[in-house]
Copies of this chain bind each other. A is one copy, B any other.
């Protein structure tokens, strides 16, 4: 399977390196990503990491904004100017730079979370908190929806 799926927490060693989960590495390879590109999430202390096609997604988002507005310029600045490339060493590890630490609050451990076409890096406790919120939002959504929808409904 070549989608980023599931999550894992790995430790950062004394030299500031962390192993990217083996499953994610194989996805990276099967997708033919030569390098990984990381972008800071706007309102969330997480990094989105993926191939260069990750940029396409963000550029599509920018395209929805009025190019004369400040928002579009801010977004463009953010996406194009505030990203970084991550390089694997021979053991499949990347080094956790200040670029990563500042935005995420990561110190000693990194939580990797699959997101389909990309994955995220989190500080584990912040991930847990955010996950609980996301879950609560989905539950509210489900209770507000009419039962008997087709595609996404759980048989219950």
Residues of A within 8 A of B (CB): 1, 3-7, 35, 37, 41-43, 48, 52, 55, 57-62, 64, 68, 70-71, 73-85, 99, 113-116, 120, 131, 134-135, 137-139, 141-142, 151-152, 154-155
CB–CB A78/B5 < 8 A: no
- 20 of the cross-chain contacts (CB-CB < 8 Å) are A6-B80, A6-B81, A41-B154, A42-B142, A43-B139, A59-B116, A61-B152, A64-B151, A74-B138, A74-B141, A75-B138, A75-B152, A76-B116, A77-B113, A77-B131, A77-B134, A81-B113, A81-B114, A81-B120, A81-B131
Q: Is the CB of B134 within 8 A of A80?
A: no
Which chain B residues border A142 with CB–CB below 8 Å?
42
